[in-house]
Each structure stands twice: as structure tokens, then as C-alpha cells.
Structure 1
Amino acid sequence: MQAINWQRPWLQGWQETGERVARRAAAGMPLAQALNAEAGAPVRFVPQDELPAELAYEDYIFRSRQCPTRDNLHDFFNGLCWLRFPQTKQRLNQLQAAQIEAQGILPTRGPVRDALTLFDENAALLSAPQPLWDALLAKDWPTLFIKLRPLWAQARLYLFGHALLEKLVEPRKPITAHVYRAPAAINSVADLDAWVAQDLSAEKLASKPFAPLPVLGVPGWWPDNENFSFYDDSFVFRPQRPLS
């Protein structure tokens, strides 16, 4: 696995567990075993080859409470997500399994499974004052990042998606999260995990309750955005499409 700079702002809260797991893996321990050495996950991590050919990945996890794991960075962060957000990960898996039970495995996932996968891979959770959320929904980037910049001191952005975390090991300006709104009265990651797990439903996810956010634009997350010309890149900070 690649070296990870745990001092990045978006990895706050992930470092202690992540470093322990990474050390075990670097010493030659299979990643599944390195993750199982930590407490807190509602699943047991197993090597990828234990996934039966006849079962879908999410269905196997639901039935067996075992998570097939490859020795790579993507599954490293997936394992960390199971450890840090156990209730949310379990809820996503339950919803995936319910969709598979109802519809079987189709050539395309359908809107609910697409949204579940998008959340699992690329979601971030934002607790923020209403004006920030309004500007984000409007893709009003100058207001969001410049005019309202002081309000970000009252916001909390928690990355969740394991593919998102993997991409940010090598930060690039276009990396964009799909943001899901969290309430302001969240005092800990455990409280956030419990709230999201309770809030998620197939109906809500089918409505695509996400807002795109280029994460390196977040104040304090990337030195280059202290120069406000950073936000002039319309290929990254795309304007709202006009209503037809």
C-alpha cells in the first residue's frame, strides 16, 4: 500500500486506527487479519477468495457477516470505514441486501442500489449553517468559499466514502465528494454514525439527496485555496445549470 500522509485535514480521526492497521499490513500481515485485530466492526474481514462465486458481494456480507477483503488501498479504507462508522456501514449493507432480495441481480443496479453504492464509495457528511448549505446546493462557489468563508468555522465535514479517501491519498483539485447533510447537533463521530444509520432509507436515497463538493476547496484543507483565484477553475467549480 502507498504511504499515507495522516496529517491531511480530511484524515483527522482516522489516523490512530489507520496507522495501526497499516503497520501490521506493512509487516506482512494480510489486510483482513490486520483489520480483525481491531475491535468495533460488526463484520469479520476475510480474504477475497472466500466470496462464493454464486453470491453477490453485498449479499454475502449480509448473510455471513464477513467482508471479503483484498490487500489493497481501496479495501484498507473500506475496512477503516467499517471500524469508524459501523452502524452506517451495516445499514447500507442491509439496504443493499433488501434490494437484491426484492429484485435479484440485474444488469444495472437501479436507482436505489446506485445511490447506495455512491454513498458507500464517495459520500461525505456535512454539518453546517443553513447559508453554507444553500450556497452549496446552488453551486454558488464564490458565496460558499469566499463570502461565507468565516462560517466554515461552524461547519464539520466528515469523509465517509472509501473510494473518496483512497483518491485523496494523492490529492487532486477535481476530486469531488457527494455530500449528505447531517444535523448541526452532532457532538461525536459515534453520534453521527448512529444518526446516519437511522436516517438512511431506500426512499430517501432514491431521491439523490447529494450535493457535489470539490473537497480541496474547503477552507483550511488545501493551502492553494487561500488564493481565491483557486476557485476560478470552471472545470472543477462548475456553475449551476440554468433551468430549462
Structure 2
Amino acid sequence: MRGAAGAEQRQAAALAAALDAIDWHDPALRVHQARASVWRDSLRDGAAGWFACLNAAAVQAGLRTATSCPLRFVPQAALPPGRAYEAHIAATGEVPTRLNLHDTFGALAWFLWPRSKAAMNAAQASAIANAAAATAASASRGSLRDALTLLDENGLVFAHADDDARAALAGHDWSRLFAAGSEWWQTRIAVFVVGHALMEKRVAPYKALTAHAAALAMPSAFFALPLERQQRVVDCALADAIGGTPGGATGGMTGGTRIARPRDLLPLPVSGMPGWWPDNDEAGFYDDVTVFRPLRRAD
């Protein structure tokens, strides 16, 4: 026990140092700064203080699974051997969590996107259950699980009120989307980071970092809403697109969008977005085809 306690203390200290080193002004991370600061302070009491802090916040926020099971963050060791992570969450409400940045961002995502995370978990758990009878030779993750994993790890929502903006994204027309279409951003386009691995990558960003974007249509009035209201609308819309009735909680706001296959998510080089990379307004920035790749046409 002494060795395990010592290891936990070292992990807590390392996580505290990692959180202290983050530039929380980054556009992908700043929305989490206040909550992360409270969590960081809880690490003074080690792993026990950390989990107590997260779980008190989860109760206050009313976090639940899709089947209304209260959510609790527990040590990774609580996951029984051989049991799928998503299936365990769906069955128990327990989220196995390690003391590292990756799982910290995963927990933060639950607080910002509670409906979407619950919908992703329910869909993943259902897909796992449906595949349980498959033989080892034929078992595969399947298109739905692949898409949900991409969204959960590396996804963002590309909210747009302009069909031309979505067409530019889908067509890899980067100059149109980022440069010529700069007037779209914030008034006709807004992005919301969902994936916790994408958040982690923004701790040490690189130019070629590319997200998987769920393009959701929004009315023009959406872009005049306060940020917290936008986040709630996006959370409902994304949850609908994942597993609910499209438009059911958002008055048809998603336009019937469904996320069922990896190709339902569009590649988006985040360094092209305003404020996400230095000097991305310079001439020729989007000529780098190793980052801003042209669309591959089918033969």
C-alpha cells in the first residue's frame, strides 16, 4: 500500500505540474480554465482529494448517463479486467479515470458536453452489446463505433449558418473557408471542441493538427447568443446527431444530421482558423499542401 500511495502522490504532483504549464488562453482550452483551476488545487490532497473534487462537481452538475445513472469518476483500477470501458460506464455510471492530462480533458468534456457524452457512451455501449455474439474472427469495431471514437477523441462541432461555408469545408477549399471567407467566422461559423485528445494536443499545438468536424447547421440567431447558451444548444444538437431523434431537442436545428460513419466527420486543419495559429492571415499560408490537403477525387 505504501508503494501504491507513493505512486499516486507522484502522479498527482506530475498532473498538477502539467496543469500549471498549460496556456489556458488557447482557443480550444480557455473555456475549461476555471474548472481546471479548482481541480488543480484539489491535487494538494492527492488522488483522494482529486476524485472527491470531481465527484462533488459531478453531483452539483447533475451528470448522468443516458439511462439516468449518476456519473462518478473512479480510479482506473475500478474497471474490471476484460470489461469494455464504455460498457462499464453505461452499466454503472463509473468513469475509470487516470491521473493524467488525457483523462483530465476527458472529464472536462463530460462537464461541458453532458448530453453528447452520454449519447456517445450509450451508442458505444449498445454497439458493444450488439457485437458480443460475433466470433473473434469476424468481430470489428464497426463504422458507428469508429465514428464515435473519432468524435470523442479528436472531434469538434463546426456550427454554420451558411451552406457555402460547409461546402468549402467539405470540398477542402481552404482559401475560401479561411481567407476569402474570413467574414463568416463568429457571425456565420463557430467551432466547439469536443474531443479530449484534441484538447490535449492543443497543449503543444502543431501546424498540421487536424480535427474531425461534425458540421451542424444553425440559424443565424444562434451566433448572437451568449457562449454558454451556444454550448447548450450545440450539446443538444450533437446528442441528437449521435443517437437521438434528429432535431428532437433543438427544433430541427441540425437539419437531420446523423453521425454514423467516419466519413460523416470532415477533416478540418485547425491552424487555419482565426486565432488558432500565428500569422495564418499571411499570403501563401494555405498553400502548404502537407497541412491543407486538396480533396481526393474518386475515379
* Interval of TM-score (by shorter of Structure 1 and Structure 2): over 0.9
CA 1:191–1:171 in structure 2 vs 1: closer, same or farther (change >3 Å)? same
SS in 1 for 2:214: strand
CA 1:228–1:159 in structure 2 vs 1: closer, same or farther (change >3 Å)? farther
Larger mean CA deviation between 133-142 and 21-30 belongs to 21-30
In structure 2, C-alpha distance between the alignment counterparts of 1:145 and 1:103, rounded to whole Å: 41
- Give the counterpart letter for 1:18 in structure 2: A
The answer (yes or no) to whether the contact 2:207–2:277 under 8 Å persists in 1 is: no
SS in 2 for 1:144: helix
- Give the counterpart letter for 2:171 in structure 1: A
CA 1:61–1:156 in structure 2 vs 1: closer, same or farther (change >3 Å)? same
Q: CA deviation at 1:144?
A: 1.1
The answer (yes or no) to whether the contact 2:47–2:99 under 8 Å persists in 1 is: no
In structure 2, C-alpha distance between the alignment counterparts of 1:181 and 1:102, rounded to whole Å: 28
Q: CA deviation at 1:225?
A: 0.6
Matching of residue 33 in structure 1 with residue 67 in structure 2: no
In structure 2, C-alpha distance between the alignment counterparts of 1:64 and 1:90, rounded to whole Å: 13
Could you tell me which residue of structure 2 aligns to residue 238 of structure 1? 293
Of 172, 183, 195, 1:139 maps to 172
The superposition leaves residues 167-193 of structure 1 with CA deviations (integer Å, 9 ceiling, x where unpaired) of 111111111110001232444211211
Q: CA deviation at 1:27?
A: 5.5
CA 1:26–1:178 in structure 2 vs 1: closer, same or farther (change >3 Å)? farther
In structure 1, C-alpha distance between the alignment counterparts of 2:294 and 2:203, rounded to whole Å: 27
Of 120, 141, 164, 2:152 maps to 120
Of 185, 190, 194, 2:232 maps to 190
Could you tell me which residue of structure 1 aligns to residue 95 of structure 2? 67
Share of identical aligned residues, percent?
Answer: 37
Matching of residue 79 in structure 1 with residue 134 in structure 2: no
In structure 2, C-alpha distance between the alignment counterparts of 1:100 and 1:153, rounded to whole Å: 38
Unaligned runs of 5+ in 1: none
The answer (yes or no) to whether the contact 1:33–1:46 under 8 Å persists in 2 is: no
Of 205, 215, 222, 1:181 maps to 215
Q: CA deviation at 1:37?
A: 3.2
- Give the counterpart letter for 2:117 in structure 1: K
CA 1:124–1:26 in structure 2 vs 1: closer, same or farther (change >3 Å)? farther
Equivalences for residues 103-114 of structure 1 within 5 A: 103-104=131-132, 108-114=140-146
- Rg larger for: 2
Could you tell me which residue of structure 1 aligns to residue 247 of structure 2? none
Of 5, 15, 19, 2:37 maps to 19
The answer (yes or no) to whether the contact 2:146–2:262 under 8 Å persists in 1 is: no
SS in 2 for 1:195: helix
Which structure has the higher relative contact order (CA within 8 Å, separation 6+)? 1
The answer (yes or no) to whether the contact 2:259–2:265 under 8 Å persists in 1 is: no
SS in 2 for 1:228: coil
Could you tell me which residue of structure 1 aligns to residue 249 of structure 2? none
Could you tell me which residue of structure 2 aligns to residue 222 of structure 1? 277
Q: CA deviation at 1:142?
A: 1.2
SS in 1 for 2:263: coil
Unaligned runs of 5+ in 2: 1-14, 65-70, 245-257
Could you tell me which residue of structure 2 aligns to residue 162 of structure 1? 196
In structure 2, C-alpha distance between the alignment counterparts of 1:35 and 1:88, rounded to whole Å: 19
The superposition leaves residues 72-126 of structure 1 with CA deviations (integer Å, 9 ceiling, x where unpaired) of 0000000000111111101111001111111128653121111111111111001
Could you tell me which residue of structure 2 aligns to residue 200 of structure 1? 242
In structure 1, C-alpha distance between the alignment counterparts of 2:259 and 2:191, rounded to whole Å: 21
Larger mean CA deviation between 221-230 and 88-97 belongs to 221-230
SS in 2 for 1:78: helix
In structure 2, C-alpha distance between the alignment counterparts of 1:108 and 1:239, rounded to whole Å: 30
Query: With structure 2 as the length reference, what TM-score do the two structures score?
Result: 0.76
Q: CA deviation at 1:54?
A: 3.1
Could you tell me which residue of structure 2 aligns to residue 91 of structure 1? 119
